[in-house]
Amino acid sequence: MKILLLIVQLIPALISLIKAIEDALPAAGLGAEKLAAVRKIIEATFEGASEIWPVVEKVIGVLVSLFNSTGVFTTDK
């Protein structure tokens, strides 16, 4: 339950971070690099990030998939 509550608190920051990286690097095909950047930023700013990274990574995948399917992120940039 603690992880769920932490993730709920992190979601707004994750969304902002994901969108900022996407704005900086809008090209398609850079998903692995973008995810690595998110991970490095989180690990640099949040002690204990490596412990919850598997859950955070899944949440990021859900958010990116949602943004792709709803047109928030487009591949025609």
pTM for the model: 0.89
pLDDT at 76: 62
For residue 2, the tally of other CB atoms under 10 A from its CB is: 7
pLDDT digits (tens, 9 = 90+) for 11-52: 999 999 999 999 999 988 999 999 999 999 999 999 989 999
Lowest-pLDDT choice from 25-29, 58-62, 72-76: 72-76
In angstroms, the CA 75 to CA 27 distance is: 7
In angstroms, the CA 60 to CA 43 distance is: 15
On the CB side of 72, how many CA atoms lie within 13 Å of its CA? Answer: 15
Where along the chain do its domains lie? 2-69
CB 55 within 8 Å of CB 3: yes
In angstroms, the CA 18 to CA 30 distance is: 13
